[in-house]
Homo-oligomer: A and B are copies of this chain.
Amino acid sequence: MSITDAVKRVLVGRRLSSAQLGETLLPKRIALPIFASDALSSVAYAPDEILITLSLAGMAGFGFSLPIGLAVAAVLLVVVASYRQTVHAYPSGGGDYEVVTTNLGPTGGLVVASALLVDYVLTVAVSVSSGVQNAKAMLPFISGHEGEVAAVVIVLIMAVNLRGVRDSGGIFAVPTYLFMAGVAVMVIWGLVQIFVLGHPLTASTAGYTVVGTQQYEPLVGLGMVALLARTFSSGCAALTGVEAISNGVPNFRKPKSKNAATTLLLLGTIAVSMLLGILVLARLAGVKMIDVSAGSYFMSSTGQRITGEPTTVMGQLARAVFYPGFPLGFYFLITMTMVILFLAANTAFNGFPTLGSILSRDGWLPRQLHTRGDRLAYSNGILTLATGAVVLVLVFDASVTMLIQMYVVGVFISFTLSQIGMLRHWTRKLKTQTDPATRRQMKHSRVINSIGMVMTGVVLIIVVVSKFIHGAWLALLAMVVIFWLMRQIHRHYEQVRQEVGTIGPSDRALPSRVRAVVMVSALNKPTVKAIQFAKATQPSELEAVTVAVDPDETAEVVRAWQADDLSVPLKVIDSPFRQVTQPFLDYVRELISENPRDIVCVYIPEYVVGHWWEQLLHNQTALLISTRLHFMKGVMVTSVPYQLKSSRELADRYRQRTLAGRR
């Protein structure tokens, strides 16, 4: 067992087989942190974005932070209530994609899938960027390199996932609880200082005045509506990740649905408390933010313009609360904030390939992504996700404020469609349900989902309208492109399925004879092996064929052939243009046309090597010929591998990996 394997086993535990999966049903206390890191981590940036957007209206704007916070909290609770209905209706784990596909048909499902795929990329970009921004409170030297640092973090998370961390529940629980505890201690201790000890908190930006932009200062009329709408949209980032539990119902202990619904309620309550707690404390401590790119700025009490950006709300609050008495509290909370944000990014690295696998099963993505366990399939998804996120953090320099303009759209598309789907679900169920109690229950659920639908639909419209020109258009464009691509892939598979589906009598016709042709370029061990293997299949006819490219070489082969006693005739094909491929293909084509009911089996000796550069030095002509032979009907191509010494090491490595996987 290698060191990596050992570390992995300690961190992750044994790999779970399908059968074993049943053993690991989760109690609520473990399920909560597993499914909550994404949703809870967003309280690390949602307050920032609310204050940053409000800063455009100058000092007057910050007065709206609590009302906006309450609006976001209201939406969050409605969404939680709606998804509690979903977990009851789909105890098998009804993700939004499943719910929508089942109730609104495949096109709706595909829209949700496109939105979710884009959102996974943004989750990684936003979470890691926010983690890096928060880290600046502790490690100020990061300033100016945010994009690069975020990219490195994403690559590290990717590397961990490529190594194959399949089930990372255990390590999630601890930091999630520590983060929750840290925020709770900070908020409570801050409030105690202010209201019990009478010791007012002062954030580092408390003494500054914020000057907004001409567009929004003073804050009146349409401008006000627009700005508050944008602020609310950014704040709704706090809702991302709420739907995660609905995917995970089967992993809960019995009664699954009930436990999942309880956990969901718990999650909602905690998220709302944290969000509002942070916003209240920020207001009390005088925390202010500015939007550097949009042009709001700080002014000192003496009327001088302050350059430079403030740290995050979490950073300012933690410093105000824990300094100077307990600096360790500050470091602890910032570290936990970073960790939970990176864990949130990590969940996307699990979710993206899983969704890819489901989409692949339904024929929307290349088939080979379906087989979950295969390293290769997951690797593709992980690489795609990481590449997208790295590009985003580099282009937008890890600015959460810019990235968040694209975020949330996808989440609310999927929320809204999911609620519409649930409505259909209950309406359909009600048609066949006769038991009055159950009917009452269903009608109740339908009302809740209707409220959810209206609420999320309205938020979706607000988000799209208020953010469209600020970046949402890019996210929507990406979704449309992905949607179109998946449609094309599906159409292709559908066409192929129809083409190959109906097996007719002509397909069952047994070929009359097998004519074997062994491709020869020299008389050596691989050739002899190919000949012997071909002989073993006892074909109706067997001949060796060589193409006369170089007269000397050909003479040498013929001489060696005659000297040996392989009892197989060697045919020399003339090659007037000094090619190999074409004359050989022509020869095979003639063989087929001589007797179309025969099949021709071409045996190609192949060198198996251990390094990619050795591969470049061998088999290239064989590869070309084999590719072209595939276009001829009635031909099979058999490669007879000859393992060179250099291949042994690689074969051993493959075998070891297999054994390691089995333990």
Residues of A within 8 A of B (CB): 15, 17-20, 361, 366-368, 370-374, 376, 489, 492-493, 496-497, 499-503, 507-514, 523-526, 528-529, 532-533, 535-539, 549-550, 564, 575-582, 585-586, 599, 601, 603, 606-608, 614, 616-618, 620-621, 624, 626, 628-633, 635-645, 647, 650-651, 654, 658, 661
Contacts and interface: CB of A to CB of B under 8 A. Distances in A.
A580 B374 contact: yes
A607 B535 contact: no
A370 B617 contact: no
B578 A373 contact: yes
Contact of A637 (B539, B631, B641): B641
A545 to B, nearest CB: 15
Given A17-B577, A367-B620, A636-B639, 10 more contacts: A370-B549, A373-B579, A500-B526, A500-B642, A507-B528, A514-B536, A536-B599, A603-B636, A631-B654, A632-B651
B550 A536 contact: no
Contact of A620 (B366, B637, B642): B366
Contact of A525 (B503, B514, B535): B503
Contacts of A616: 366
B576 A18 contact: yes
A639 B640 contact: no
Contacts of A580: 371, 374
Contact of A361 (B525, B550, B582, B658): B550
A615 to B, nearest CB: 10
Contact of A641 (B492, B502, B512, B636): B636
Nearest to A608: B630
B661 A582 contact: yes
A14 to B, nearest CB: 11
A529 to B, nearest CB: 7
Given A371-B621, A372-B578, A643-B631, A525 B500 contact: yes
A533 B507 CA distance: 11
Contacts of A374: 578-582, 621, 624
A388 B528 CA distance: 41
16 contacts: A20-B576, A366-B620, A492-B617, A493-B617, A496-B644, A499-B645, A501-B524, A507-B525, A511-B533, A577-B661, A585-B658, A630-B641, A631-B650, A631-B654, A636-B640, A639-B639
Nearest to A365: B617
A398 B599 CA distance: 58
B577 A15 contact: yes
B533 A508 contact: no
Contacts of A15: 577
A524 B503 contact: yes
A601 B537 contact: yes
Nearest to A166: B577
Given A549-B371, A637-B639, A658-B586, A536 B510 contact: yes
B17 A499 contact: no
A635 B630 contact: no
Given A580-B371, A631-B608, A638-B637, A528 B503 contact: yes
A658 to B, nearest CB: 6
A17 B575 CA distance: 9
A633 to B, nearest CB: 6
